[in-house]
Amino acid sequence: MIDTMKRDPETPPKVLIALMMSGKSGQDKLTGVFRYLQGRRHWDTSIIRTKDGLTPQMIDALPSRGVNGLILSVPPSDEVEDRIVHSSIPTVVLDILEAKRLRTRTHRIAFVVNDSSAIGARAAEYLLEQGVFQSFAYVGATRQYAWSQKRYEAFRRILAARGYGCQVFSEPVQDGIPDWDARRQALAEWLRGLPKPIGLLAAYDDRAHQILETCFDAGLKVPGDIAVLGVNNDEVICENTVPTLSSVQPDFEEEGYQAAALLDRLMAGSLDHPETVLCGVKQVVGRQSTVPTSQAGKLVQKAVAYIHANACKGIGVPDVARHLRVSRRLADLRFRQMQGQTILDAIRQERLERVKHLLTSDDSTIGEIGTRCGYENENYLKNLFKVRFGMTMRDYRKFSRL
């Protein structure tokens, strides 16, 4: 059995973080880790960004390298998984939803996953808030995963409480026909047969993307005939589909925070049995695949587009209300109903997200980035960033480029 080396309690623990950083979810998880560490003891961290970088040899070498803990968010190969199962390195498995093999380990391990039931429930509430659907549907994962089933059950339960049913797509099983050909044909026929207009939840964004493409081929209008909602808010997908894809965004930052908290307990020896922490939904990001189905939806879509284009130009809530040609109260009410946050929160979030993007993609100075994002006072921005994300802007740039 692989074991950890004893260390001086005054020495910062060495922690390996295996975390894919290519998408916003990975960046948010890392932000959550460092938000937890703010004001606490320092960690000496290393980051692995890809599955290929996580090898059996690396896991075997962790004790000799003095590594005291592992946060695992990259789906491991079978060999790596086997090494981790037989290791005693304190380990937190982050957002690997099934992890059946890893769950056979019974010592120095914990799990953090998004709450599939909360996701399904929030999706149902969001579609009900549109006020235009009398019918609803769910398209799950292509395999029978427990997390997909939980999302469906919670989605159906909320709808049933309001007097609505929910239709479910069943994957075809046919010999001699390529899987996707059979699935796409069956999916198109099923979509054509649904009562219109209908609000549809897909188990995750890739699945929702497939539905959008199938609707296009089948001559179905989105969102006029079918409003499509995904899960994960993978911006590479959601911002580049036609129409752009609405999505439920799990609270990935909170997942990172909870993973760091659990690992701290594991390394300190205060957690001696496997524990699982569920994290809920941060928000539903409304885009063209759902929001134009109602006047309120169109209003919010227009507000989101305006904020995205102008947040760094010093706009405030009154500017957004004037752009929408409605009262400030009505603008904020509709926005809060559909986005789960105030207009002011959305403006602040957009500006800080732009700051984060520029820190990782641009070599401008911190002062220059602040000016471009509407912050006249560099020190104010530095303090705000550290309070919000748990690390300095300089450290965020360094760790994001490792």
Judge whether 289 lies within some domain: no
Q: Write down how long the chain is.
A: 402
- In this predicted structure, what is the pLDDT of residue 311? 92
- Evaluate whether residue 2 is within a structural domain: no
pLDDT, position 183: 80
Beta bridge partners of 67: 14
pLDDT per residue as tens digits for the range 122-165 = 999 999 988 778 899 999 998 888 899 999 999 999 999 989 99
In contact, 111 and 93? CB cutoff 8 Å: yes
Please tell me whether residues 238 and 321 are part of one structural domain. Answer: no
Of 194, 226, 250, the domain-final residue: 250
Looking at residue 163, what DSSP letter applies?
T
Note the pTM of the prediction, 2 decimals: 0.77
The predicted structure's pLDDT at residue 1: 41
The pLDDT, as a whole number, for residue 173 is 57
* Confidence at residue 99, expressed as pLDDT on a 0 to 100 scale: 77
Count of the separate structural domains present in the chain: 3
- Residue-level pLDDT at 71: 96
Residues 153-179 have pLDDT tens digits of 999 999 999 899 999 998 765 554 456
Residues 307 and 396 in one domain: yes
Same domain flag for 144 and 224? yes
Kindly state whether residue 336 falls inside one of the protein's structural domains. Answer: yes
Judgement on whether residues 233 and 278 belong to the same structural domain of the protein: no
Please tell me the number of Cα atoms within 13 Å of 4 on its side-chain side.
22
Cα–Cα distance between 231 and 225 in angstroms, integer?
Answer: 20
- In tens digits, the chain (402 residues) has pLDDT values of 444 445 456 789 999 999 987 777 888 999 999 999 987 878 999 999 888 888 999 999 999 999 999 999 988 889 999 999 999 999 999 987 677 889 999 999 999 999 999 999 999 999 998 877 889 999 999 888 889 999 999 999 999 998 999 999 987 655 544 566 778 889 999 999 999 999 999 999 999 999 999 999 999 999 989 999 999 999 889 999 999 999 999 999 999 999 999 999 999 999 888 999 999 999 999 898 987 656 777 788 788 889 988 999 989 999 999 999 999 999 999 888 777 789 999 899 889 989 988 998 888 999 999 999 999 899 999 999 998 888 899 988 887 766
Domain boundary residue, one of 226, 259, 284: 284
Identify whether residues 238 and 265 lie together within a single domain.
no
The answer to the question of residue 1 being in a domain is no
d(Cα 138, Cα 191) in Å, to the nearest integer?
Answer: 11
Whether 32 and 132 share a structural domain:
no
Residue 340, C-beta contacts closer than 8 angstroms, at least 6 positions apart: 281, 282, 283, 284
Assess whether 26 and 46 both reside in one domain.
yes
For 7-68, give the DSSP string.
--TTSPPEEEEE---SSHHHHHHHHHHHHHHTTS---EEEEE-SSTT--HHHHHHTTTTTEE
Q: Are residues 73 and 143 in the same domain?
A: no
Q: Any idea what the CATH number is for the domain that residue 384 is in?
A: 1.10.10.60
User: What pLDDT was estimated at residue 5?
Assistant: 43
Domain match, 46 and 57 both: yes
CATH label of the domain that carries residue 95: 3.40.50.2300
Same-domain check for residues 259 and 156: no
Residues 263 and 222 in one domain: no
| Residue 385 neighbours by CB distance under 10 Å | 23
β-strand 198-202 against 135-139: which pairing, if any?
parallel
Q: What is the pLDDT of residue 275?
A: 92
User: Is residue 245 located within the same domain as residue 164?
Assistant: yes
367 domain residue, yes or no:
yes
4 assigned to some structural domain: no
Note down the domain range covering 265: 14-114+251-284
Instruction: Identify the burial level of 20 via C-beta atoms within 10 angstroms of its C-beta, where 0-12 means exposed, 13-18 middle and 19 or more buried.
Output: middle
